[in-house]
Amino acid sequence: MNITLDLHDIQGNIVFGYGRWGYPLSRYLLFKFNDGVKARDFISALVPLVTSSAPLDKQNGGTPPPATTNIAFTYAGLTSLGLPDASMRSFPDDFRMGMKARKDILGDDGPSRPEKWDPVWKAHRSVHMLLTINGQSQEELDGRYQEIVGMLENTDGDVELLSGHRGVKGVNNLPYQSGNAIVLNGKPTANEHFHYTDGISDPVFKGQGRSANETIGAGKPTREPADTKAGWDALETGEFLLGHRDETCEYPIAPEPRLLSYNGSFMVYRKLHQNVGKFTDYIQKASANYGRPDDSPEVKQETIKAKFAGRWSNGAPLATYPDYASAMKFGQEWDNAAATLFYQTDVSAEQKSAARAKLEELKIKRRAFDYDGDIKGAKCPLGAHTRRTNPRGSLEFDVTGAFNTPGALVDRRRILRRGLPYGESSDRNDNDGEHGIIFMAINSSIQRQFEFVQQQWVNYGNDFKLANEKDALLGNHATDDQGNPIGRTVINANETLEQPTYMCSGMPRFVETRGGDYFFIPSMTALRMIGEGIIDPT
Amino acid sequence: MGNRFGNAYGLTVLIPIKHGTEDNRSYDKIIRDKLQQWPLDEQSPLSKVPNTYLSRVFLLNDVFYEGAPAIEEHLKNKYLVFSSNFFGELDDYLTGMWNTIGDLLKEFLQHCVVFDKVNSSADFVRYIKRCQIKTSLFFNGSTDKPLDEQLKALYVKQAFIHFAYLSDHFRYEGERGAIKLQDAFKRFVNLIDIKNFNVPSWPVATQSIPADIELSVKAIINNVKEADK
């Protein structure tokens, strides 16, 4: 079934991420509405600035806009905007409760508990709207920011831009959260602060307009080989967009009326702090005895790091590149092709075209795999981050035909990851500075998709036959009575590479929650109707 | 399908509750009030009955009417329903139950039909068998080994995980580490006393991981380090 989506009706950053168009900078603004009428006027004034999911050069007269703008609301925000009770009652419980009230499900305890979040999140239900700006340069980003701040003047203080985002050196009253791609050696990267390449296998769904090549390793697995086009199908649109058929051949649960929800979605926004120093330190200590005694510390550390993630730092998947040498070769080929394509000036058209083809081939290789034949986790440990959060067909545990499709337990747990890192971490031993990731997950059901992944696959291990073991990177590892970290993880043995089973203990919590909430992203139509106050579920 | 699944037995019993009242309360209400005062988990009286894998007790007031075209029906009595999965033979199990929590059972079974004729464990076995119905869809959720053996296995598994993690560093201390690892393992074998199914073991019906398992393993590792100094 061919699905044609009205991309001009769907807000931007959903159907494709802005990173694809090269917007390495972002700002996240939180607003509070004190008066419904003024707030609706403000929304109406914002609508012309809002970016859609149409190709960016097609909504701005041939050139991508210098900066993008998107908005989303919390439950409290929609209430303040005066949506009818019947509509408000039709929203799902997860969204109505908000992220703070779901802390037990999410494992936001200890240093991640809401009391530790940035001040802007602390007041009860005071965050009503999230506005995100993505920009190509600081000037353009700031230009759009100033434009929006200027619009606030017409609201007589009845729409407040909330301060209270943390910054560096104890600052805790910033009016916005910044996000930025990490720049290494003068080049913007797709890295996060532990220096893994991030955001590789985002799901592909119907109507997104992706080619069969782009669907390899990114859709849902069929029973054909994982490195072929036949091995993958695009997911149903309704897993990510409300009002469309989902993986159970139904419409997802959505608020009434249909015009309010159609082409909208739900978004999880989380500010995740990364303890870079603890990570650096732990990788050094934990890798000391890993692998062959004559391996260099560099090899040991990189391998342990890869085993935690399921991918090498450069993005090469362990399932395809189980050893250090092959992974480094992958990285070298990638760097060479990228250099030819983007940075070298004296190259011929043929060389460019060859480099482009090579990069395309390597991109597919980053995704074109499953865990068939690796049931014991010899290549990619059963508890590795990417194997947990996207198990592909591996929950059949090599019992082919255990389910109707190999991804039966996975296809309804996928999330679109958007967002960018924030802060800087050039001091690799620092824990307390501002460095982490603004994690944004888009899905039709926060409970079924994001929360399930977080609760069952990140903070628990039973589905992978790992009892109560947590994700090494993201898990909310606890401490004992004396405050000593007690996280543990097993790296499964790989006999071919002479790597015996390796046990990592005393693991601290590497990632801590610093804020966030659940948001509803209306379609462009619904946004206009909210502004006009004409949402009517009767 | 019947009451047996290997060595496991699935018992289903419907005990009719007497009609009538006492002190202005119907008998089923008296029973419910008492049952709801029972403590949970390891404190539950049912956890004291030997070889119980899983058991539950509840009151069946009536059957549900599922709407037309179903016929509306009602039970003649209210029933106390007892269901249990256990190891071994029914007679042994019920005798064990009478011997451990018989007095507690009498408190509410006295309000059930003809329970006044029950005066001994043999009477109790007969009485329960009269009230037994066939467990038609019985699926045993554990192995069919005796309970003490299962709990010991759970304990050993947990203890060994702690041993593996806590002794792991000896692997990297060369020959001296190997000696220490061997010493630690000997102490570990001593600690778990594998042939003794009573102690140390996993506590019956506990909901939380018993902390002392890790502490006891930690203690022997520390002893090895001390002995090495």
For the stretch A120-134, pLDDT in tens is 999 989 999 999 999
In the predicted structure, residue A339 carries a pLDDT above the cut 80: yes
Position A291 scores a pLDDT of 87
Interval B91-141: pLDDT, tens = 999 999 999 999 999 998 999 999 999 999 999 999 999 999 998 888 888
In the predicted structure, residue A1 carries a pLDDT above the cut 70: no
- Domain co-membership, B40 together with B105: yes
B171 in A contact zone (CB under 8 Å): yes
Position B139 scores a pLDDT of 87
Alpha helices for A323-438 (secondary structure H): 324-338, 349-367, 385-389
B215 in A contact zone (CB under 8 Å): no
DSSP states along A84-149: -HHHHHTS-HHHHHHHHHTHHHHT--GGGSGGGS-GGGTSTT---EEEEEEESSHHHHHHHHHHHH
Position B137 scores a pLDDT of 85
Q: Is residue B139 part of a domain?
A: no
Report CA-CA distances (Å) from A53 to A69, A168, A183, A209, A243. 11, 34, 27, 12, 16
The type of residue at A280 is: T
CATH number, domain with residue B74: 3.30.70
User: Looking only at Cα atoms, what is the longest distance across chain A?
Assistant: 73
Total residue length of chain B: 229
- Domain co-membership, B95 together with B187: no
- Domain co-membership, B55 together with B160: no
**Host H or E run for residue A301:** helix A297-309
Q: Is residue B142 part of a domain?
A: no
- Domain co-membership, B32 together with B120: yes
In the predicted structure, residue B43 carries a pLDDT above the cut 60: yes
Chain mean pLDDT for chain B: 94
Q: Which of A285, A287, A289, A484 to mutate to test the interface with B (most CBs of B within 10 A)?
A: A289
- Domain co-membership, B43 together with B104: yes
Position B150 scores a pLDDT of 96
Position B209 scores a pLDDT of 84
In the predicted structure, residue A20 carries a pLDDT above the cut 80: no
- Contact flag A503-B165 (C-beta cutoff 8 Å): yes
Number of structural domains found in chain B: 2
Interval A227-277: pLDDT, tens = 999 999 999 999 999 999 999 999 999 999 999 999 999 999 999 999 999
The type of residue at B159 is: A
pLDDT range class, residue A180, cuts 50, 70, 90: very high
- Domain co-membership, B9 together with B74: yes
From B94, B110, B133, give the residue that closes a domain: B133
Do the strands B4-5 and A511-521 form a parallel or antiparallel pair, or are they unpaired?
unpaired
From B99, B133, B167, give the residue that closes a domain: B133
- Domain co-membership, B121 together with B179: no
- Contact flag B172-A503 (C-beta cutoff 8 Å): no
Position B1 scores a pLDDT of 52
Rounded Cα gap, residues B157 and B201, in angstroms: 11
CB A446 within 8 A of CB A266: yes
Q: Is residue B176 part of a domain?
A: yes
Report CA-CA distances (Å) from A276 to A308, A333, A420, A516, B213. 15, 28, 16, 21, 33
Position A191 scores a pLDDT of 95
Please, which residues 476-515 of chain A have a Cβ atom closer than 8 Å to chain B? 488, 503, 505
Interval B72-81: pLDDT, tens = 999 999 999 9
Sign of CA dihedral A85, A89, A93, A95: negative
Nearest-CB residue to A505 (from B168, B171, B172): B168
% of chain A at pLDDT higher than 70: 100
In the predicted structure, residue B229 carries a pLDDT above the cut 90: no
- Contact flag A289-B165 (C-beta cutoff 8 Å): no
Interval B127-177: pLDDT, tens = 999 999 998 888 888 899 999 999 999 999 999 999 999 999 999 999 999
In the predicted structure, residue B228 carries a pLDDT above the cut 90: no
Distance from CA of B183 to the nearest CA of A (A): 20
**Host H or E run for residue A33:** strand A25-33
- Contact flag B168-A488 (C-beta cutoff 8 Å): no
CA dihedral A156, A162, A168, A170 (to 10 degrees): 100
In the predicted structure, residue B217 carries a pLDDT above the cut 90: yes
Q: Which structure tokens are listed for A110?
A: 């200890």
Find the domain containing B175 and state its range.
Answer: 147-228
In the predicted structure, residue A367 carries a pLDDT above the cut 70: yes
Q: Is residue B138 part of a domain?
A: no
Instruction: List the domain boundaries for chain A.
Output: 7-271+515-532
- Contact flag B164-A488 (C-beta cutoff 8 Å): no
- Domain co-membership, B75 together with B51: yes
Rounded Cα gap, residues A293 and B88, in angstroms: 53
Distance from CA of B142 to the nearest CA of A (A): 16
pLDDT range class, residue A52, cuts 50, 70, 90: very high
Q: Is residue B172 part of a domain?
A: yes
Residues of chain A contacting residue B174, judged by C-beta atoms under 8 Å apart:
none
- Domain co-membership, B60 together with B163: no
DSSP states along A356-376: HHHHHHHHHHHH----TT-TT
Distance from CA of B165 to the nearest CA of A (A): 6
Please, which residues 267-326 of chain A have a Cβ atom closer than 8 Å to chain B? 288-289
The question of ipTM being above 0.85 is answered as no
- Say which DSSP state B104 is in: H
- Say which DSSP state B85 is in: E
Rounded Cα gap, residues A466 and B61, in angstroms: 42
Position A538 scores a pLDDT of 87
- Domain co-membership, B29 together with B123: yes
From B77, B109, B133, give the residue that closes a domain: B133
Position A2 scores a pLDDT of 78
- Contact flag A503-B164 (C-beta cutoff 8 Å): yes
E strand residue ranges, A151-264: 159-161, 177-180, 183-184, 187-188, 220-221, 232-233
Average pLDDT of A297-315?
97
Global pTM value = 0.92
Q: Please tell me the number of Cα atoms within 13 Å of A374 on its side-chain side.
A: 27
- Contact flag B172-A289 (C-beta cutoff 8 Å): yes
- Contact flag B168-A503 (C-beta cutoff 8 Å): yes
- Domain co-membership, B129 together with B40: yes
Q: Is residue B152 part of a domain?
A: yes
In the predicted structure, residue A340 carries a pLDDT above the cut 80: yes
pLDDT range class, residue B207, cuts 50, 70, 90: confident
- Domain co-membership, B9 together with B113: yes
pLDDT range class, residue A77, cuts 50, 70, 90: very high
Interval B48-72: pLDDT, tens = 999 999 999 999 999 999 999 999 9
In the predicted structure, residue A213 carries a pLDDT above the cut 60: yes
